[in-house]
Protein backbone atom coordinates (compact mmCIF):
# COMPACT_ATOMS: atom_id res chain seq x y z
CA UNK A 1 0.00 0.00 0.00
CA UNK A 2 1.35 3.42 -0.97
CA UNK A 3 1.49 6.28 1.50
CA UNK A 4 -1.04 9.08 1.37
CA UNK A 5 -0.02 11.71 -1.21
CA UNK A 6 -0.77 15.40 -0.73
CA UNK A 7 -1.41 17.31 -3.96
CA UNK A 8 -1.87 21.05 -4.35
CA UNK A 9 -3.49 22.32 -7.54
CA UNK A 10 -3.70 26.02 -8.35
CA UNK A 11 -6.53 27.07 -10.67
CA UNK A 12 -6.45 30.81 -11.26
CA UNK A 13 -6.87 32.26 -7.76
CA UNK A 14 -8.23 29.07 -6.18
CA UNK A 15 -6.03 26.44 -4.52
CA UNK A 16 -7.28 22.86 -4.20
CA UNK A 17 -5.73 20.52 -1.65
CA UNK A 18 -6.20 16.88 -2.54
CA UNK A 19 -5.17 13.78 -0.66
CA UNK A 20 -4.73 10.63 -2.75
CA UNK A 21 -3.91 7.04 -2.02
CA UNK A 22 -3.54 3.91 -4.14
CA UNK A 23 -5.35 0.97 -2.61
CA UNK A 24 -6.76 -2.27 -4.04
CA UNK A 25 -6.01 -1.33 -7.69
CA UNK A 26 -7.89 1.96 -7.26
CA UNK A 27 -6.89 5.55 -6.62
CA UNK A 28 -8.82 7.22 -3.81
CA UNK A 29 -9.05 11.04 -3.78
CA UNK A 30 -10.23 13.17 -0.87
CA UNK A 31 -11.30 16.70 -1.87
CA UNK A 32 -13.43 19.18 0.06
CA UNK A 33 -14.86 16.54 2.37
CA UNK A 34 -15.79 14.18 -0.47
CA UNK A 35 -14.14 10.96 -1.59
CA UNK A 36 -13.73 9.97 -5.25
CA UNK A 37 -12.55 6.56 -6.43
CA UNK A 38 -11.11 5.73 -9.84
CA UNK A 39 -9.90 2.34 -10.95
CA UNK A 40 -6.49 2.26 -12.57
CA UNK A 41 -8.25 1.23 -15.80
CA UNK A 42 -10.38 4.42 -15.67
CA UNK A 43 -7.26 6.52 -15.22
CA UNK A 44 -5.47 4.72 -18.05
CA UNK A 45 -8.46 5.03 -20.41
CA UNK A 46 -8.62 8.79 -19.90
CA UNK A 47 -5.39 9.01 -21.89
CA UNK A 48 -6.18 6.39 -24.53
CA UNK A 49 -9.21 6.44 -26.76
CA UNK A 50 -10.91 3.13 -27.47
CA UNK A 51 -10.00 1.37 -30.68
CA UNK A 52 -11.67 3.26 -33.47
CA UNK A 53 -14.19 1.46 -35.63
CA UNK A 54 -12.55 -0.31 -38.56
CA UNK A 55 -9.07 0.20 -37.14
CA UNK A 56 -6.58 -1.73 -35.03
CA UNK A 57 -5.10 1.47 -33.63
CA UNK A 58 -5.24 2.88 -30.15
CA UNK A 59 -5.18 6.66 -29.99
CA UNK A 60 -3.32 8.46 -27.23
CA UNK A 61 -5.02 11.76 -26.48
CA UNK A 62 -3.69 14.94 -24.92
CA UNK A 63 -4.94 15.10 -21.32
CA UNK A 64 -4.95 18.92 -21.41
CA UNK A 65 -4.05 21.87 -23.64
CA UNK A 66 -0.37 22.69 -23.83
CA UNK A 67 2.77 22.58 -25.94
CA UNK A 68 4.69 19.49 -27.05
CA UNK A 69 8.25 20.07 -25.88
CA UNK A 70 9.80 16.64 -26.58
CA UNK A 71 8.99 13.76 -28.91
CA UNK A 72 10.97 10.74 -27.71
CA UNK A 73 9.88 8.06 -30.21
CA UNK A 74 9.54 7.58 -33.95
CA UNK A 75 6.95 5.89 -36.14
CA UNK A 76 7.55 2.18 -36.63
CA UNK A 77 9.31 1.53 -33.33
CA UNK A 78 8.09 -0.88 -30.69
CA UNK A 79 7.45 0.62 -27.26
CA UNK A 80 6.94 -0.98 -23.87
CA UNK A 81 4.11 -0.37 -21.44
CA UNK A 82 4.78 2.84 -19.44
CA UNK A 83 7.50 4.00 -21.84
CA UNK A 84 7.55 7.79 -22.19
CA UNK A 85 6.53 8.88 -25.69
CA UNK A 86 6.13 12.66 -25.41
CA UNK A 87 6.60 15.49 -22.95
CA UNK A 88 3.84 18.10 -22.76
CA UNK A 89 4.22 21.49 -21.09
CA UNK A 90 1.08 22.96 -19.57
CA UNK A 91 0.51 25.50 -16.80
CA UNK A 92 4.27 25.87 -16.26
CA UNK A 93 4.64 22.14 -15.59
CA UNK A 94 5.90 19.22 -17.66
CA UNK A 95 3.80 16.07 -18.09
CA UNK A 96 5.04 12.82 -19.56
CA UNK A 97 2.74 10.97 -21.94
CA UNK A 98 3.39 7.24 -21.66
CA UNK A 99 2.33 4.21 -23.63
CA UNK A 100 -0.43 2.34 -21.80
CA UNK A 101 0.51 -0.94 -23.50
CA UNK A 102 3.30 -2.71 -25.35
CA UNK A 103 2.71 -1.60 -28.95
CA UNK A 104 4.15 -0.30 -32.21
CA UNK A 105 4.02 3.42 -32.98
CA UNK A 106 1.95 3.81 -36.15
CA UNK A 107 1.93 7.58 -36.39
CA UNK A 108 3.02 10.54 -34.32
CA UNK A 109 0.47 13.26 -35.04
CA UNK A 110 2.33 16.15 -33.37
CA UNK A 111 5.80 17.68 -33.44
CA UNK A 112 7.99 19.52 -30.96
CA UNK A 113 6.85 23.09 -30.37
CA UNK A 114 3.27 22.40 -31.50
CA UNK A 115 0.36 23.68 -29.41
CA UNK A 116 -2.28 21.03 -28.67
CA UNK A 117 -5.78 21.08 -27.27
CA UNK A 118 -7.29 18.80 -24.64
CA UNK A 119 -8.28 15.41 -26.10
CA UNK A 120 -6.36 16.03 -29.35
CA UNK A 121 -4.89 12.91 -30.99
CA UNK A 122 -1.15 12.70 -30.23
CA UNK A 123 -0.01 9.19 -31.15
CA UNK A 124 -1.56 6.21 -32.93
CA UNK A 125 -0.51 2.78 -31.62
CA UNK A 126 -1.00 -0.73 -32.99
CA UNK A 127 -1.27 -3.47 -30.42
CA UNK A 128 1.23 -6.30 -30.64
* Judgement on whether residues 60 and 33 belong to the same structural domain of the protein: no
Q: Structurally, how many domains does the chain consist of?
A: 2
Domain that holds residue 19: 5-42
| Predicted model pTM | 0.61
* Domain co-membership, 38 together with 55: no
98 and 68 fall within a common domain: yes
Query: For every one of its 128 residues, what pLDDT tens digit does the chain have, with 9 covering 90 and above?
Result: 447 788 887 777 888 888 888 877 778 888 777 887 877 665 655 555 555 544 445 888 888 889 999 999 999 999 998 899 999 998 888 888 988 889 999 999 999 999 998 888 999 998 77
* SS3 of the chain: CCCCEEEEEEECCEEEEEEEEEECCEEEEEECCEEEEEEHHHHHHCCEECCCCCCCEEEEECCCCEEEEEECCCCCCEECCCCEEEEEEECCEEEEEECCCCEEEEEECCCCCCEECCCCEEEEEEEC
Amino acid sequence: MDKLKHIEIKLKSQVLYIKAEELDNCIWFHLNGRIFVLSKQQVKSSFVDEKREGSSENVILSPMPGQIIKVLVQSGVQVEENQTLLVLSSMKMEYTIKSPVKAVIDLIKVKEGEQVTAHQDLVLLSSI
